[in-house]
Amino acid sequence: MMNLFKSKKDLFEFKHGDKTWFLTSAAKAVEHNGHTYLPLVVSRGNIDDEDIDKCDTEITFPYPMQILNAEGDDLQALFINKIYYKSVTVTILELYKGETLVIHIGRITQPQFDDDENTMTLVSSTAETQQNKSILTRKFQKTCSNKIYDRICGLKIEDWSVDVTITAIDNLTITFTVNPTPVLDENGDPVLDGEGNPVTEVKTYPDNYFSRGVLHEDGIFTTILRSTSFETTGSNTVVLGRQHFGLLVGDVVKLAPGCDQTRAGPCHTVFNNHLRFLGFPNVPNSNPVNDQIIK
């Protein structure tokens, strides 16, 4: 038993939303910290943490093959379907004599497939590499600079999310029905019928109510480009910005409305959140200093 700890072993923890894959480069499964790390032919590149330009590492797997977690989710399918961008994180630990050392925490930014070598290589970048990029700053602009549901916007996504049931999937177009919700009185308490059961209703939402919003399930968020309502088209649909991994007909997911970043739009009409609006709608379209001759 002591021989298991004489050599160093790499432990890999991949995470996408609430889904996690525990893998190891060891020949046998490794039990550590309450998790079982499954053996896989996986290798990593050298990790150099002394140079900010060298904070990337590469993780190589055989390809094609299924890389399954305990729930049967395939890690490799995430990258084949090209929905990986900055949505999969990885932690690499070095196990030696029963103790672990975290040697890399990053986000997968690029998959590379080599058909000649039959390999898939994932490039993982650390947060430090972001310091070489331009930092977003707030500007004087007509539209709001907040990101909806962030701390400054102040809206809570759980307060605005709607439970729906998926009825059809056609590429990126998702058809759904809205699940019944309890009717609440003026105090926010459920309204009961004569037998003491909660009274429910199926709410309706206008076209583009969910546009620029998100579909979210199990910690995975996917942008909604536009939406239609049953009243105008005969079905409730949303068009996603990319494929939502693992989405199936019959799934119950949550939809949250979005915002067009204008003060007169959903910020006021839907959310009544215009007091937190951080745009400048009265900024003139032209700058007189640049566009007019001042005498």
Phi, psi of 226 (to 5 degrees): -160, 165
Chain-wide mean pLDDT for the chain? Answer: 83
Task: Please report the sign of the dihedral spanned by the C-alpha atoms of residue 19, residue 84, residue 150, residue 176.
Answer: negative
Rounded Cα gap, residues 41 and 242, in angstroms: 30
- Report yes or no: 86 and 106 within 8 Å, Cβ to Cβ: no
What would the pLDDT profile of 281-295 be if each residue is shown by its tens digit? 888 877 766 666 655
> What percentage of the chain has pLDDT greater than the value 90?
31
**CATH entry 3.30.1330 includes domain 9-130:** no
pTM to 2 decimals? 0.70
- Report pLDDT for 3: 46
Query: Residue 236's closest CA among 222, 221, 218, 224?
Result: 224
In this structure, of 123-127, 164-168, 224-228, the range with the lowest mean pLDDT score is 123-127
What would the pLDDT profile of 119-164 be if each residue is shown by its tens digit? 888 888 886 555 555 555 677 788 888 889 988 999 999 999 999 9
Residue 211 has pLDDT above 50, yes or no: yes
Concatenated DSSP letters for the chain? -GGGGTS-EEEEEEEETTEEEEEESSSS-EEETTEEEEE---EE-----S-GGG-EEEEEEESS---B-TT--BHHHHHHTT--TTT-EEEEEEEETTEEEEEEEEEEEEEEEETTTTEEEEEEE-GGGGGGSPPP-----SS--PPTTSTTT---HHHH-EEEEEEEEETTEEEEEEPPEE-B-TTSPBPB-TTSPBPEE-----TTSSTT-EEEETTEEEEEEEEE-HHHHSSEEEEESS--TT--TT-EEEEE----S-TTTHHHHTS--GGG----TTS-SS-HHHHS---
What would the pLDDT profile of 2-35 be if each residue is shown by its tens digit? 444 457 888 999 998 888 999 998 888 888 888 9
Q: What is the largest CA-CA distance in the chain?
A: 90
- Report pLDDT for 4: 45
